[in-house]
Structure 1
Amino acid sequence: MYIIIIGGGKVGYYLTEHLLKAGNEVVVIEKNPKKVQIIINELGGVAIQGDGSDAGPMLEAGMNRADIVVAATGDDEDNLIICQMAKKKFNVKRTIARINNPKNEHIFSVLGIDSTVSYVDALVAQIEREIPAHSLIHLLTLRDVGAAFIEKQVPEDSPVIGIPMNELSIPQQFLIALVIREGQAIIPKGTTKLLGGDEVVAVTTLEQEDLLERLFRGELIRRQ
């Protein structure tokens, strides 16, 4: 099966690795030259540098013969455009889109995208497997009462780096649910320290979606 993946970040990389091991023909389109080189060095010559939402790289990758196109970038709008182009311009039979904001899932469905994968849903499912059942709150149900799931990367120069969680002034309505570091999931504890480049998944109310950015700016560090 010939599969084209748009987006060579962590999600795209590990998906490519898995599909290649399963015996599929895979090509990745990624605009960042450093990520392209990493993929080529570690997985072979399966990466093309370019904007995956442009027709040029799509033609170079041979999208007109692709069985499946996977839009795995970190931008929902780009993923929607990629899937629509794949279906309408190149007649790809099956498109799969990564959704970074679960609230966009209905839009993708209405606009004819065959399948969607919510990155947040997958992470929450992992959290639910890790937390003992007696203390488990099913986070997916929180959307019905106005919860927001946010995923952001810790900047390399963030003041919060190296500070234990229990030394942060985190409001009760804000939960750091998961930290992804070098491809490994970490369920944070009070002694957990964030590092530059960590992917942080937080759950909060819709009204306080900016709390994660404030945390990374150092505004929630407890002052002595």
Structure 2
Amino acid sequence: MNILIVGGHAKANFLTKSLKESGHNVTIINKDKEWCKIMAHSHGIVGVYGDGTKPFVLKDAGAIEMDTVIALCNKDSANLVICEVAKKQFKVKNTFAVVNDPKNIRIFKKLGVDKVISSTEILSDMIEFEAVIDNLINYLPMENEKIILSEFEVDARSQVADKRIKDIDLPPESLIAYIIRGDEMVICAEGNCELKISDKVIVLSRSKDFAKITSLFFWRK
């Protein structure tokens, strides 16, 4: 899949890395010239310096060939313009936008943006866009903006390393959906499975519990 990411720094960097690892072709547009150079060099991608709200910049970045455009700018208005131009002028099938004001979510959807994510729900620089971007499961806001599906990797620092699922102090209404161990997916309904270093763990939880769950995987007591 050909994916164009417009704006953003930390989010764009993380998303680019994840998408590249999943086999997608990524191009970025950014107003920060040095950042474009760094991203292009570190990820081996095309980096276009310019204002992504301008049709000629989108054209230069190959928008006509893109399957998906993701707008990560700080201004909601800019993200809306990017998605509108991508959809109407370049016939891009899938458009995604981050909004800073949750009140704009409904407006963006009414105007045709395919997926809108509220930045107030993002508690880290990890974003996951459902369905169209396969195998990228790091942060998935559900329809009610309250439930998220997150992926964590168990390492030697994790409180959960070498623990059974039922012995992990997860917040109420949180659930370890399944474990990816090597090339296998492990479903542990009874909670007796033990988490091993390098396991990838898929957790369903309320967004307000994301920080606590993150601490379980990244710091020991």
Normalised to the residue count of structure 1, the TM-score between the two structures is: 0.56
User: In structure 2, what is the Cα distance between the partners aligned to 1:94 and 1:133?
Assistant: 34
Residue by residue over 1:130-176, the C-alpha shift from the partner in whole angstroms, topping out at 9 and shown as x without a partner, is x9636x9x777xxxxxxxxxxxxxxxxxxxxxxxxxxxxxxxxxxxx
Change (3 A) 1:95 1:132: same
Corresponding letter in the other structure for 1:91: K
What is the DSSP-based 3-state SS (H/G/I as helix, E as strand, rest coil) of the residue aligned with 1:102? coil
Corresponding letter in the other structure for 1:31: K
Aligned equivalent of 1:115: 115
User: 1:105 Cα shift?
Assistant: 0.5
User: In structure 1, what is the Cα distance between the partners aligned to 2:17 and 2:4?
Assistant: 13
Unaligned ranges ≥5, structure 2: 124-145, 149-168, 175-205, 216-221
Q: What are the equivalent positions in structure 2 for 1:35-184 lying under 5 Å apart?
A: 35-123=35-123, 133=171
Change (3 A) 1:83 1:115: same
Change (3 A) 1:76 1:25: same
How many residues are matched? 146
User: In structure 1, what is the Cα distance between the partners aligned to 2:10 and 2:42?
Assistant: 13
User: In structure 1, what is the Cα distance between the partners aligned to 2:68 and 2:44?
Assistant: 20
User: 1:45 Cα shift?
Assistant: 3.7
Change (3 A) 1:62 1:121: same
User: In structure 1, what is the Cα distance between the partners aligned to 2:3 and 2:17?
Assistant: 12
Corresponding letter in the other structure for 2:68: I
Q: Does 2:2 correspond to 1:14? A: no
Aligned equivalent of 1:200: none
Corresponding letter in the other structure for 1:133: P
* The structure with more helix, counted as a fraction of residues: 1
Corresponding letter in the other structure for 1:14: F
Change (3 A) 1:139 1:14: closer
Give yes or no for contact 2:6–2:29 (8 Å, CA) kept in 1: yes
What is the DSSP-based 3-state SS (H/G/I as helix, E as strand, rest coil) of the residue aligned with 2:36? helix
Corresponding letter in the other structure for 2:66: A
User: In structure 1, what is the Cα distance between the partners aligned to 2:147 and 2:93?
Assistant: 29
Unaligned ranges ≥5, structure 1: 141-176, 179-184, 187-224
What is the DSSP-based 3-state SS (H/G/I as helix, E as strand, rest coil) of the residue aligned with 2:122? helix
Normalised to the residue count of structure 2, the TM-score between the two structures is: 0.56
Identity of aligned residues (%): 34
Corresponding letter in the other structure for 1:61: A
User: 1:46 Cα shift?
Assistant: 2.1
